[in-house]
Structure formats: structure tokens, C-alpha cells
Amino acid sequence: MSSTPRLIDGDDPRILLVCDHASNAVPAGLDLGVPAEALSQHVAWDIGAEAVSRTVAATLACRAWLASVSRLVVDCNRPPEQAIPQHSDGIPISGNANLSATDTAARLALHHAFHDGLARQIQLRPPQLLVSIHSFTPALASAPAPRPWPIAILWNQDYRATEYALAALEAEPDLGGPIGANEPYSGQILNYTMDRHAEAIGLPYLGFEIRQDLIANAPGVARWSAIVARTIRATQEGLCSAS
């Protein structure tokens, strides 16, 4: 499998989706030194996030930019100097310890390819709204307090789009739990991709987090993709009416 980020093309330039943690792929020949089962778990990728991104992109006829390697290889939602994790949720990643300069450069080349390609998409056909799609585990092994939110919006400083999205989610019936606002962690602590490609240029954005158990099968993906698509549409309308 190629390590090149993937573009899902779409006719409508107004929305651009980003999925930093779409893939659990590890390039051939690279041994991360983690148990095989870890590669199917949240430590390696955002379970269900690629499927939601693809479904929302199809619904809205918009583009989606998807990472093609596991975040255990390189984490595109971290600054480069923190992008090669040494451990994740209590699992040491021995294959990332003591990397040579050559190996470090090869990993960071994947990070650069993701971000340079995303910047190119924004430049080629400037969107009105950048939307990131993530999923989160219902409980961390290292911090097992339950995370009750089915869906959440994360932001750092720019609240323009978030305000409309939270209102739209409040209007959805039967979400099954409280809507997370900067949960299960704050965008004011970690918001790298949105900070770099949206906040830095004044582009409105939404950072979705969806609990992974809700989008681990096709009916769940269909249900939550529809909710995300409606929330994006309502946010677009709100931003348009405000401008």
C-alpha cells in the first residue's frame, strides 16, 4: 500500500474534510515493535473515521484528504518534533526508539507530504470551511474514566463555526449522551492540523470527535455521517448568514 495521502475528489469546493488518523497501515519493512493486535486498536488509528469521512464527502459532494499511514508511524496531528510517538496509551513503541537521522527524516517526509498536500488543496480550490474527522476510544487504558460524549466539537481560538455546529447538534434528537465541547480533550491543548491550516489563515473550521464504538459498523457509520453532514450544512448556513 502507498504511503501517499489520498484525495477523495468532489465537485463542491466549499467544504474540505481532513482525516489525520484514517489509516492503520505500516509501510512494508517497518517494524514498530508493538503487539499485532495494537494495530487494530485506537492507538494505531481512529476507528471508523475514514468511513465517516468518505460517506460525508459523498453526501456533500466535497473533497476529503486522508492520511495513509498509522499514527504510530507518524502522527499528522502533532507538530513534527512530537510526531514520532515513543508510546501510546501505555504501549511502548520500541521501533520508534533511537531512530537514525535517516529514519527520522523518512518518517517526517510522510508528515510533510500530508501537510503540503493539504495546503495545496486549500490553495487550489479555497474552501469556506475546513472540517476534521476524528474518533476517540470510550475509555483509555491509562485513564479509564468513561467518556460519555457520543460526539464532540474541538476548537482552539476561532469559535465561529463551532458555535453553529454545537447549536445544530443540540437540535438533533436522541444523540444518546451529552455533546462534547472541547471533550474528551481540549482543542486549546491539541489542535495541530486545524491550527496550521485554518486558524493560521483565518479559515473557519470544525473539529469533530466521534466515539469509535458508534461508528465501528456500517449502520453506525451511516447514522453518524448523516448527523455530521447535517451539522456541516447548518454551520455553512450560519456562517453565510453572518457574513
Q: Using the minimum distance from each CB to Zn ion, give the nearer residue, 39 or 239.
A: 39
* Least Å from the CB of residue 21 to Zn ion: 4
* Least Å from the CB of residue 29 to Zn ion: 25
Q: Using the minimum distance from each CB to Zn ion, give the nearer residue, 13 or 117.
A: 117
* Least Å from the CB of residue 143 to Zn ion: 16
Side-chain-facing half-sphere of 180: CA atoms under 13 Å: 24
The H or E element containing residue 152 is strand 151-154
Q: Using the minimum distance from each CB to Zn ion, give the nearer residue, 90 or 126.
A: 90
Contact between residue 146 and residue 111 where contact means Cβ atoms under 8 Å apart: no
CA 24/CA 209 separation, integer angstroms: 18
Q: Using the minimum distance from each CB to Zn ion, give the nearer residue, 150 or 238.
A: 150
Binding site for Zn ion (CB under 5 A): 21, 46, 134
CA 242/CA 215 separation, integer angstroms: 33
CA distances to 20, 140, 160, 165, 197 from 92, rounded to whole Å, are 21, 15, 39, 37, 30
* Least Å from the CB of residue 20 to Zn ion: 6
Q: Using the minimum distance from each CB to Zn ion, give the nearer residue, 18 or 236.
A: 18
Q: Using the minimum distance from each CB to Zn ion, give the nearer residue, 103 or 183.
A: 183
Residue 71: which of 101, 47, 105 has the closest Cα?
Answer: 47
Q: Three-class SS of residue 49?
A: helix
CA 213/CA 94 separation, integer angstroms: 28
* Least Å from the CB of residue 154 to Zn ion: 10
The H or E element containing residue 236 is helix 218-242
Name the strands in the sheet holding 6-8, side by side, starting at the edge strand that comes first in the sequence: 6-8, 62-66, 12-19, 129-136, 205-211, 151-154, 180-181
Name the residue with the smallest CB distance to Zn ion.
Answer: 134
Query: In this structure, which amino acid lies at residue 115?
Result: H
Q: Using the minimum distance from each CB to Zn ion, give the nearer residue, 19 or 168.
A: 19
* Least Å from the CB of residue 197 to Zn ion: 15
* Least Å from the CB of residue 19 to Zn ion: 8
CA distances to 74, 137, 154 from 189, rounded to whole Å, are 19, 18, 10
